[in-house]
Amino acid sequence: MPSKGPFADLLASRGTVILDGALATELEVRGHDLNHPLWSMKVIQDPAGIESIKNIHLDYFRAGANIAITASYQASTQGLREHFQLSEAEAQKAVARTVELAQNARDIAYQEGAMPRSHPLLVAGSVGPYGAYLSDGSEYRGDYVRSIQEFRDFHRPRMQALCDAGVDLFAFETMPNMTEIKALLDLLETDFPQAVAWLSCTTRDADHLSDGTTWNVLLDLVNRHEQIVAFGINCVPMTSSTNTLRSISQHTTLPLVCYPNSGEEWDASTKTWRGQRPDEALATSELSSSARSSLADSARDWIENGASLIGGCCRTGPAFIKALNEDIQGRAPLPQSRT
């Protein structure tokens, strides 16, 4: 059962925790075709794909990530049953495999000496929103309607599989919908009372969740749940992240999470990315000096506005995390302005 201890120890020892970067888009960079409603889960039954997932986790650990996020973002057991004709038991096993791959990568990172064993490396079980299952881009809009019970029934089997496989905490990520968030918080409390999670959201603008809920309303709920150990944003453009964190920080004293995307926008109808990355080297082996400088400035802004967990989302890669880690390790600690 995931518990607060490992995460609390990591945060206390590091101050600023480095998350990993994109998984699915990094699989595409490495030659995998993910044109499928379940995206990265398309390759989970392919030996070459399985090896690639493990290697991506390993490359992020080598780059300095403290936490690997499993490849289970789209892995609802309902989706796995529908798209791959798996039984419920087989679907649960597929979810568990995503945890095993991240754990295997962690073991190799320790064996290689990428991190001493005294330095905790954690595995966060990704729980993506119902909108990801719909595969229509609605995780960026939050415009779907289900009951609390329907959301609970949708998320419970995946969370159970992640928990049984030994994740250190849950990552409730890319969440756009207030009702769904209520359901997850309720499910966490009733069915996984010893577990902890971070909650990260997509946004309509700096002051609103994607479905239009204001931060003060959402955080009035979240702040009452002790099992939520961090709150923030993911898969939002880097250019808007600082203002959003500044707005969120007015309503919570939780450690904040920030792992933005490259700035491009996903077009669900064409299954393509639109727009241009701030720097074309963002997901390649090395970042340009201008990209490193821009990232360093952004990271300082995020930390100054309360971010304690920082990383990258879609279309960022190991080079992004390496540059982020090197910047954090190379700078003097910032004054602690939050409790």
**Which residue ranges form the domains of the chain, and what is each CATH number?**
4-330 (3.20.20.330)
- Per-residue pLDDT band at 272 (split at 50, 70, 90): low
CA distance 135 to 268: 7
Confidence check: pLDDT of 4 > 50: yes
Structure tokens at 197: 């999670």
Nearest Cα to Cα of residue 144 among 210, 221, 78: 210
**Binding-site residues from annotation:** 235, 313-314
Q: Are 135 and 107 in contact (CB under 8 A)?
A: no
Name 310's bridge partners: 18, 258
- Per-residue pLDDT band at 276 (split at 50, 70, 90): low
The pLDDT of residue 292: 81
Give every CB contact of residue 92 below 8 A, 6+ residues apart in sequence: 77, 157, 160, 161
Q: What is the pTM of this model?
A: 0.92
**Binding-site residues from annotation for Zn(2+):** 235, 313-314
pLDDT tens digit sequence for 98-149: 999 999 999 999 999 877 777 899 999 999 999 999 989 999 999 999 999 9
The pLDDT of residue 295: 84
